[in-house]
């Protein structure tokens, strides 16, 4: 056995073990890595506000704390307002439920000529096994929901903590990163950082603008339907539909539908139809245009990046896909060499006149090209001949051409110059009468002066 074989086997097994260990560690830490990625983009989003406060004389850490405090107060106030509104509407729905049930029973009895009673329906529900199983499953699911809520709060705390450190110690983080790079690479890293801050801020600006437009549109509808708490519901729809990806639209539309149902069940249907129509308008008209202007990427690229981000990281990927792609595009754009575009009509989508008329091109093609080829194997020539044979188009013959243009150089004497014009006898060597020497290449009597019958 060779000496190197045991060492090679040990090295191969070591590489496999390291790869397996790294794969296991990556899968265990994928949640933490996603949280750090979200925190980094949040830090980039609040970077302009923190830098502005720091330029006014505040310490960077205190400026970051103020930004987080303002954000926390706004979120807490919004959640408290919506929570009290939702609780009041749920209580009202529970109190009015018997009246709704009586109206439904009365409509069924009138339409289908039945004799249903609310007491019988209530007793049937209380005695049904379905209600007992539902209560048992709900009691079991409370623990699961509580665990999910606690996990979500811990995840939010982790993201907030990393975001605070990234924003407060941004200059120190950049210095630490640039200290291990040569000067040329340091400039590129700082430029990429600045581009990321601009694109992330532009993305949040576009989202905020779409949230405002969505809130105004839904406020007009809810106010027209006389739905209570219309301003708060409009703010809810605008914020939740824009800043919670994938399921934000459904969560945003469910609450106005619920409140509208307490006023009139048909109002809930109108709200549902409006939410669906507005969502299509936003996805295909409003969002691509605003994203293209604020983030400076093509609408198709923005749409594709959201799909790719969702496939890779789910809801988080959909949220950060557009600023990430915008940053990458702006950074790599400096390394792409661009040239001046030629002034060709086809660049603007205009075709040249006559470029599609194949028959005209074939007819205008000189016949001498086929004559020079000799084999007749040219594709365009064969196509022209077939088209001429099909449509009865004839080209002028050589005799007609000669008659119109007169005698050409190289042709034999015409008319009374010899027996050719009379159709007289032809000599064995092909000569006809006196020759006219045209040069060292020979006379024209032996080629062009041959009589035709």
14 falls within a domain: no
> Domain for residue 437, yes or no?
no
pLDDT in tens, 256-314: 888 888 788 889 899 999 988 988 888 788 877 777 677 777 767 777 887 888 888 87
The Cα 232–Cα 290 span in angstroms is: 25
Half-sphere exposure of 33 (CA within 13 A, CB side): 8
* pLDDT-derived band at 378, boundaries 50, 70, 90: low
* Maximum mean pLDDT: which of 104-108, 370-374, 402-406: 104-108
295 domain-assigned: yes
103 and 207 in a single domain? The answer is no
Which of 335, 350, 374 terminates a domain? The answer is 335
Q: Cβ distance 256 to 240 under 8 Å?
A: no
Residues 324 and 189 in one domain: yes
Higher per-residue pLDDT: 210 or 403: 210
Indicate whether 189 belongs to any domain.
yes
152 and 234: one domain?
A: no
Tally of domains within the chain: 2
C-alpha pair distances (Å), 108 with each of 48, 128, 213, 264:
62, 22, 42, 18
Residue 204 inside a domain? The answer is yes
Same domain, 157 and 108: yes
Determine the structural domain holding residue 290 and report its residue range.
184-335
Domain assignment of residue 3, yes or no = no
Residues 188 and 310 reside in one and the same domain: yes
The pLDDT tens digits for 398-452 are 444 444 445 544 444 444 444 444 444 444 444 444 444 444 444 444 444 444 4
Q: How far apart are CA 383 and CA 380, in angstroms?
A: 5
214 and 164 within one domain: no
Residue 82 lies in a domain: yes
Together in a domain, 199 and 321: yes
196 and 103 in a common domain? no
155 with 205, same domain: the answer is no
Task: Give one DSSP letter per residue of 32-87, joined into a string.
Answer: HHHHHHHHHHHHHHHHHHHHHHHHTT--HHHHHHHHHHHHHHHHHHHHHHHHHHHH
């Amino acid at each position: 056995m060779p000496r190197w074989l045991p060492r090679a086997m040990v090295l191969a097994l070591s590489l496999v073990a390291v790869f397996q260990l790294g794969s296991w560690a990556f899968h265990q830490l994928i949640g933490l890595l996603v949280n750090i990625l979200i925190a980094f983009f949040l830090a980039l989003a609040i970077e302009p506000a923190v830098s502005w406060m720091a330029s006014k004389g505040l310490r960077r850490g205190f400026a970051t704390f103020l930004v987080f405090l303002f954000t926390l107060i706004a979120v807490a106030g919004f959640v408290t307002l919506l929570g009290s509104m939702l609780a009041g509407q749920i209580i009202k729905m529970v109190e009015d439920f018997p009246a709704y049930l009586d109206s439904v029973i009365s409509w069924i009895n009138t339409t289908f000529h039945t004799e249903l009673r609310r007491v019988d329906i209530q007793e049937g529900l209380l005695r049904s096994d379905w209600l007992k199983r539902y209560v048992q499953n709900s009691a079991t699911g409370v623990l699961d929901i509580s665990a999910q809520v606690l996990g979500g709060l811990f995840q939010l705390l982790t993201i907030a903590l990393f975001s605070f450190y990234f924003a407060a110690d941004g200059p120190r983080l950049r210095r630490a990163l640039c200290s291990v790079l040569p000067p040329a690479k340091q400039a590129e890293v700082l430029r990429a950082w600045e581009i990321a801050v601009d694109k992330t801020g532009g993305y949040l600006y576009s989202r905020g603008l779409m949230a405002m437009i969505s809130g105004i549109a839904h406020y007009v509808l809810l106010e027209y339907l006389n739905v209570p708490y219309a301003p708060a519901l409009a703010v809810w729809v605008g914020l939740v539909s824009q800043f919670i990806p994938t399921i934000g639209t459904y969560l945003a539309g469910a609450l106005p539908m619920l409140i509208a149902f307490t006023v009139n069940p048909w109002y809930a249907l109108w709200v549902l139809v409006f939410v669906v129509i507005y969502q299509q308008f936003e996805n295909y008209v409003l969002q691509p245009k605003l994203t293209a202007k604020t983030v400076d990427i093509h609408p198709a690229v923005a749409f594709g990046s959201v799909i790719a981000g969702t496939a890779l990281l789910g809801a988080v990927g959909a949220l950060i896909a557009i600023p990430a792609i915008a940053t990458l595009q702006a950074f790599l754009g400096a390394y792409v060499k661009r040239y001046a575009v030629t002034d060709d009509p086809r660049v603007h989508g205009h075709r040249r006149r006559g470029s599609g008329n194949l028959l005209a091109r074939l007819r205008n093609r000189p016949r001498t090209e086929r004559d020079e080829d000799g084999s007749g194997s040219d594709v365009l020539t064969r196509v022209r001949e077939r088209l001429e044979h099909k449509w009865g188009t004839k080209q002028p013959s050589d005799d007609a051409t000669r008659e119109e243009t007169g005698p050409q150089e190289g042709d034999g004497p015409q008319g009374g110059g010899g027996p050719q014009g009379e159709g007289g006898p032809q000599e064995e060597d092909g000569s006809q009468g006196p020759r006219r020497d045209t040069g060292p290449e020979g006379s024209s009597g032996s080629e062009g002066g041959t009589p035709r019958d």
